[in-house]
Structure 1
Amino acid sequence: MLLFMLLQAMLIQAQPLRVGLHLSAPWSFYNGEGEPEGTEYRLVSRIFANAGYEVQYELYSYSRLLKQFSDKKLDCASPVAIAVDGASYTQAYLPFQDVAISLQDAGLKVETLQDLADKRIAAYQQAKQILGSDFAQAVSTAGYLELAERKLQLELLFSERVQLVIGERRVLLHLATELAPHIKLTVHPLFAAQSYPAACWQPEHAEAFNRGLAQLAQSGELAAMLRDKTQAGDGTK
């Protein structure tokens, strides 16, 4: 019996961790060869590799990521911005800032959440839940929709079918530069910057992640890997 339990434990340890990441360049995305790439992917894979884990990475839209994790089809997921019963959370480490962006030529003045009330808006999935009740109330009278595909969100903006797109600043500007570098955008920083954690079902996986994260922070590698290279300067692109 002891031998059987030992072999079973070794088999479990030999299985790779299934880690899900949010499919959103420049954080995590598939490169031209179909391999995971991006700032978040490099950081997470560095931490788990240093901890001695073999990992299988899977990239999903945000709603799908949360569903896969909640259904326990993933061992860990990142980022997880909502509470999932029974999950163990790492230290918050991903510095996100949600913003609204508009066409510069539109000349929109959007300085508070109340300025969203009469606008046509596209946002990411789960935005109302993540950005809170004040945001949900502000867009309750707006022409508001949530979409998984950021490319579609930006296409709606470029074609003026929506006036604003709400999402993570680096993600939106990165994709906008790829899709339409000639179009000038205005960034409206309506939301405070927020760092988000990863979540794991096994506490030891979250603890191992935190140890690796602390080591990278102490060495200065964490700051270097997260350094923001997205042009934001005066709030325009």
Structure 2
Amino acid sequence: MRFLLPLLLALPCAANATEITFAVTHQPPYMIEETKSGIFVDLITEIFSAAGQTAKPVFLPNRRAFASFEEKKVDGVLYYFGDKAKESCRTENYANYQPTLVALKKNNYSLKTLDGLQGQRVGAFLGAKDYFVPDYPEYPGAVAKARDYREEADITRISKLLLNDRIDIGILDWRLFLWTAKAESQGNLYAVRDIERHPYFATAWVGAQFWNTAHCEAFNKGLAILKSNGRYDAINQKYSDDVLGGM
């Protein structure tokens, strides 16, 4: 019996292996609540799996996702820009957003600088002004010269307004625009093929944030494995194909 005791004591630990929770918010194609999938979700779960650990997404509204991380109700969050988690660690960059200017081709805008926003009807994602100021200090002054400037929490609304010629320029992530335009393709005056992309902004790379440094180390290890075995590129390609399919 004494020889079995160490084995018996070890069994509960194996059965209750720690599950790493990370907060996300519904934002296709990056995070899709219905299927618990998406570019960011698939990458994070497979990265930890490659490192021999299990990770579980916890879908929450945007502000609650960050608050839950700050209050340590979850182990991590897909990215973090706040100042209330100074003892946490940040992983290596694993994914990116593609903020861009989009407009109807028929308007033939020259948007090489933000001066092109002057006199136009502009729609941007909620929080755009605060987001861009650190890297683009000219942003507030530029949008102040727009004929109309609005920020919307619902990216679908910006897409609909743009495809129905009710705003002139949209400021949003390119993949989010393609996804929402595809999902809401009926009844619009224009289609994605009528849209021109003006990539003024730099690609925005993100790293995940965790409280436990061991989680960050495991993440970085798993990320290197996914990049070396081809899964990293395959996941990104899968959602690129999904977004562009049928357009």
- What band does the TM-score fall into relative to the shorter chain? 0.7 to 0.9
What's 1:88 paired with?
A: 89
Give 5+ residue unaligned stretches, structure 2.
1-8
Write out aligned runs for 1:1-237 (5 A).
Answer: 14=17, 16-30=19-33, 34-81=34-81, 84-132=85-133, 133-142=137-146, 143-180=148-185, 183=191, 184-227=194-237, 228-229=240-241
2:88 and 2:209 in contact (8 A); partners too: yes
**C-alpha distance in 2 between matches for 1:118 and 1:62:** 32
**In 1: Cα distance, 2:64 partner to 2:144 partner:** 25
Helix, strand or coil at the partner of 1:139 = helix
Query: Equivalents in 2 of 1:220, 1:56: separation in Å?
Result: 22
CA distance in 2, matches of 1:149, 1:73: 26
The one-letter code matched in structure 1 to 2:97 is F
Q: Call closer, same or farther: CA 1:200–1:71 in 2, change over 3 Å.
A: same
The answer (yes or no) to whether the contact 1:21–1:65 under 8 Å persists in 2 is yes
* Residues 94-125 of structure 1 deviation map (CA, whole Å, 9 limit, x = unaligned): 13211111223333332211212332222223
When structure 1 is superposed on structure 2, of 192-201 and 174-183 the one drifting more is 174-183
Judge conservation of contact 2:109–2:116 (CA < 8 Å) in 1.
no
In structure 1, distance between residues paired with 2:67 and 2:171: 22
Identity of aligned residues (%): 25
Whole-angstrom CA distance in 2 between matches of 1:67 and 1:90: 19
Note the alpha carbon deviations across 1:65-114, whole angstroms, 9 max, x for none.
33332333332111335565332101011132111112233333322112
**Structure 1 SS opposite 2:93:** coil
Rounded Cα–Cα distance in structure 1 between residues aligned with 2:61 and 2:150: 16
For residues 39-73 of structure 1, what are the alpha-carbon distances to aligned partners after superposition, in whole Å with 9 as ceiling and x for unaligned? 22111111123334343312345444333323333
Determine if contact 1:22/1:65 at 8 Å carries over to the other structure. Answer: yes
Describe the SS at the equivalent of 2:138: helix
Q: Is the 8 A contact 1:22 1:60 kept in 2?
A: yes
Worse-superposed segment, 170-179 or 47-56 = 47-56
User: CA 1:106/1:194 → structure 2, altered by over 3 Å: closer, same or farther?
Assistant: same
> For structure 1, which segment, 54-63 or 37-46, has the greater mean C-alpha deviation from structure 2 after superposition?
54-63
TM-score by length of 1: 0.79
TM-score by length of 2: 0.76
Q: Is the 8 A contact 2:94 2:206 kept in 1?
A: yes
Partners of 2:51 and 2:58 lie apart in 1 by 19
Aligned partner of 2:4 in structure 1 is none
1:93 aligns to what SS in structure 2? strand
- Classify the secondary structure of the residue corresponding to 1:65: helix
Between the two proteins, the alignment pairs up a number of residues equal to 221
- In the TM superposition, residue 199 of structure 1 has moved relative to its aligned partner by 0.8
CA–CA distance in structure 2, aligned partners of residues 69 and 136 of structure 1: 30
CA shift at 1:221, angstroms? 2.0
Displacement of 1:187 in angstroms is: 1.1
Q: Over aligned residues, Cα RMSD in angstroms?
A: 2.8
SS of 2:27's equivalent in the other structure is coil
Task: Give the greater-gyration-radius structure (CA).
Answer: 2
Give CA-to-partner distance per residue, 1:152-171, whole Å, 9 cap, x none. Answer: 22222234332222111111
Which whole-Å CA distance do the structure 2 matches of 1:63 and 1:136 have between them?
Answer: 23
Gaps of 5+ in 1: 1-5, 232-236
Query: Matches of 2:24 and 2:172 in 1, distance apart?
Result: 17
